[in-house]
Structure 1
């Protein structure tokens, strides 16, 4: 089932998410719905706060048949914790399904080591670099209540403020369902 994606301005996107337990209700259905929602919006990652749930869960799929390291790179991260971020900061043009039509160059460390549980509650601790590391860091920020635009300087934030306000009001067109926090109610 495709769920609406929460737009910029909703308080759930700025809240640190809570851990869940193995008996979280309908977890496998939720994970499947998150993947459906992400694919429908042409995304490569989706965190639970982006569908209105303040829980420590995100999914990514950066499968690329032409790249050997990403032949089948579809993962679920439950209760993740970043253990370490290392390497030089590198810039990459990021976007976000909750902040459509805004893309910015964001600097992040090259490598990230993350501890997490998968959908079968198997524990993993792995280190990722490149695109995989970038997507994981971006989605992890969501469960920490941070957005990629929080990494921008004050001048750049001021320059995109009107666009952000338009997103929050729902004064934008997107090809997927969204929930806008300050949209005018239709009568």
Structure 2
């Protein structure tokens, strides 16, 4: 696979906490960024990765994960726009969620069990991705990143504090910490 793994940006780094810029140039640099994002995601054992998670403030994310039926989906979404079911049709999935930018802890987070994202591929073709199960969660999680949100921003204050405390303890224990 082409691409070079880049370091994952950790929670607290400004680029993770501000909205990303829309992509305007669908060029070789964008394709190289997507290749590096896939390499970075695979090296970190993730199922999705937003550009700001490797320090690039552009509206791009990659994903490679299964849907509710176990079918694997892989792709790149540029300038994505998330669409969720109407409230009366929405069913929540309260599975555990984690993040490569906050390695270690997981927390239960209710999200709609179905999501659709409209955007573009790396050469500028319009694409729509519909997801259920883990793919729906991934589409929502990565779109959040591009808006400057991390999953812990959606948790209660108490749960968020607990997750951050666990994360800090893990960092203190690790040799790189």
TM bracket (short chain): 0.7 to 0.9
Runs of at least 5 residues in structure 2 that lack an aligned partner in the other structure:
none
Q: 2:115 aligns with which of 109, 112, 117?
A: 112
1:50 is displaced (CA, Å) by 0.4
CA contact (8 A) 1:8 1:164 kept: no
**Which sits farther off after the overlay, 85-94 or 75-84?**
85-94
Q: 1:162 aligns with which of 162, 165, 168?
A: 165
Q: Does 1:53 align with 2:25?
A: no
CA contact (8 A) 2:106 2:163 kept: no
SS at structure 2 position matched to 1:119 = coil
Runs of 4+ in 1 over 4 A off after TM superposition: 164-167
CA contact (8 A) 1:85 1:110 kept: no
Cα distance in 2 between the residues matched to 1:30 and 1:173: 29
The TM-score with structure 2 as length reference comes to 0.85
1:85 is displaced (CA, Å) by 3.7
CA contact (8 A) 2:84 2:112 kept: no
Q: Does 1:142 align with 2:145?
A: yes
Q: Does 1:129 align with 2:129?
A: no
SS at structure 1 position matched to 2:95 = strand
SS at structure 2 position matched to 1:2 = coil
Which position in structure 1 is the counterpart of 2:44? 41
Question: What CA RMSD, in Å, does the superposition of the two structures yield over aligned residues?
Answer: 2.3
Q: Deviations over 1:104-139 (max 9, x none)?
A: 111001211211101231102343221111111111
- Counting matched residue pairs gives 170
Q: 1:30 aligns with which of 28, 33, 41?
A: 33
Cα distance in 1 between the residues matched to 2:122 and 2:28: 13
Q: 1:20 aligns with which of 13, 18, 23?
A: 23
The TM-score with structure 1 as length reference comes to 0.81
Cα distance in 2 between the residues matched to 1:44 and 1:108: 17
1:97 is displaced (CA, Å) by 0.6
**Which sits farther off after the overlay, 76-85 or 101-110?**
76-85
Cα distance in 2 between the residues matched to 1:126 and 1:160: 30
